[in-house]
Amino acid sequence: MIRVGLVGIGAQTKENILPSLLQIPDIQIVAACDMSLERAEEVKSYVRDVQVFKDVATMIDCMGPDALVLACPPQAHRDISLLAIERGIHVFVEKPPCFTLHELKDMIDAAARKRVVTAVGLNFRFARPIQHLRKIASSEKFGQPVHVQINHYAGKPRAPMWGLTSTLRSFLLAQTIHSIDLTTAFGKDHVTDVRSNVQHGSDAMLARIDISFSSGRSASILTGSMFPYFEFDMKVVSDKSNMITLDNLWNITLHDAEIASQVVGGDKRWRNAWQPGPLDSGYVRSGYFGELTGFFNAIRSGTRFEADFESMIPTFQVIEQVCATEIQPGIVAPPALRVMGEQQRSVARG
């Protein structure tokens, strides 16, 4: 039985984290902590014998949890992680884990010294259709991924969050972090080059990010707050002329040059398509269950978790590069200015 302290009882905890935790066997939520005790009390409707706290340090002292699960602003993720790690407590934080690559490295160092398991809530990576897609993309038959394209549409944030001054960094940390992370999930290679282009409207923005990896493969992301609502699609192209696409985490289509002959004797344009069962539901589908289960399994087995702090280095490298090219928001920048704002940077490693 892993004893868990829950920190930050807001919408994300109530809608996704807590419901997922309740379905994971052999863990026990022993404490809930929020600056508002009233919010913390809400956990009692779901968990018996839970203790509530306003202060994390007190909670740790009183309850001695094995692990913390946090859904807070990034500064709290960073500070509370460091506090917990120092005391040898395993930590799962919602994304984003912190603001900068520099902060992330400090957190990684701390965790390495104390040998605790860390995790970042990158549920997309664990979402069922993406697990399917990754499995296929890693098969011999599919071939080597050459390019990943992700379209990540959002309608917000359109203003800085968490005390930041940059809407762009806020947007990347709140939204695009998922997509950047996914582009890194199709190879063991490292980021060698990042190019980006950000267009600003009156308040919304549109960003394109191109990433090159050491293996020669590439990725491009179209994202921004200039869309009516959140949607998401991605595709992976292989060197064997196969392409697999995922539309809104629902439909997968495998465009495969060899399918045709298997179906009706050689007609072109046949492809394989998959979609979940009509009743597909629960928190496996959205990845919340998988990420938390993976975290607890890593604690039990004493191994690293796939989506730990360290795994986020490439993602933060990309975020830093994109932010380094930021220009002032306003109406759409005149071309001359924008071209100057674009930069190509090599990612120093090691």
CA 55 to chain centre: 27
Burial of 272 (0-12, 13-18, 19+ CB in 10 A): middle
Please identify, using beta-carbon distances, which residue of 302 and 334 lies nearer to a copy of itself.
334
| CB-based contacts of 327, cutoff 8 Å, min separation 6 | 198, 200, 333, 337, 338, 341
User: Closest approach of Cβ 154 to a copy of itself, in Å?
Assistant: 10
Q: Does 147 bind a copy of itself (CB under 8 A)?
A: yes
Reduced to 3 states, what is the DSSP secondary structure of residue 335?
Answer: helix
CB 31 within 8 A of CB 6: yes
The footprint of a copy of itself on residues 82-121 (CB under 8 A) is none
Task: Mark the segment that binds a copy of itself (CB under 8 A) among 20-28, 84-92, 109-117, 304-312.
Answer: 20-28
List the one residue from 3, 39, 114, 132 that touches a copy of itself (CB under 8 A): 132
The footprint of a copy of itself on residues 232-271 (CB under 8 A) is 232, 235, 237, 239, 241-243, 248-250, 253-257, 259, 262-264, 267-271
The footprint of a copy of itself on residues 152-171 (CB under 8 A) is 153, 155
User: Closest approach of Cβ 203 to a copy of itself, in Å?
Assistant: 10
Task: Mark the segment that binds a copy of itself (CB under 8 A) among 70-78, 103-111, 193-201, 300-308.
Answer: 193-201
User: Whole-angstrom Cα distance, residue 179 to residue 150?
Assistant: 7
Q: Does 214 bind a copy of itself (CB under 8 A)?
A: yes
User: Closest approach of Cβ 84 to a copy of itself, in Å?
Assistant: 24
List the one residue from 266, 277, 302, 350 that touches a copy of itself (CB under 8 A): 277
The footprint of a copy of itself on residues 29-48 (CB under 8 A) is 42, 45-46, 48
Neighbours of 25 (CB within 10 A): 7
Please identify, using beta-carbon distances, which residue of 112 and 337 lies nearer to a copy of itself.
337
Q: Which residues of 127-143 are buried (b: 16+ CB within 10 A; e: fewer)?
A: bbbbebbbebbeeeebe
Task: Mark the segment that binds a copy of itself (CB under 8 A) among 66-74, 141-149, 296-304, 313-321.
Answer: 141-149
User: Whole-angstrom Cα distance, residue 160 to residue 139?
Assistant: 41
Q: Does 199 bind a copy of itself (CB under 8 A)?
A: yes
The footprint of a copy of itself on residues 279-308 (CB under 8 A) is 279-283, 285-286, 288
| Closest-CA residue to 317 (of 239, 241, 220, 211) | 211
User: Closest approach of Cβ 322 to a copy of itself, in Å?
Assistant: 15
Q: Is the dihedral of CA 304, 94, 21, 234 positive or negative?
A: negative
- What are the residues facing 7 on neighbouring strands? 33, 70
List the one residue from 231, 306, 313, 323 that touches a copy of itself (CB under 8 A): 231
Q: Does 345 bind a copy of itself (CB under 8 A)?
A: no
User: Whole-angstrom Cα distance, residue 110 to residue 86?
Assistant: 7
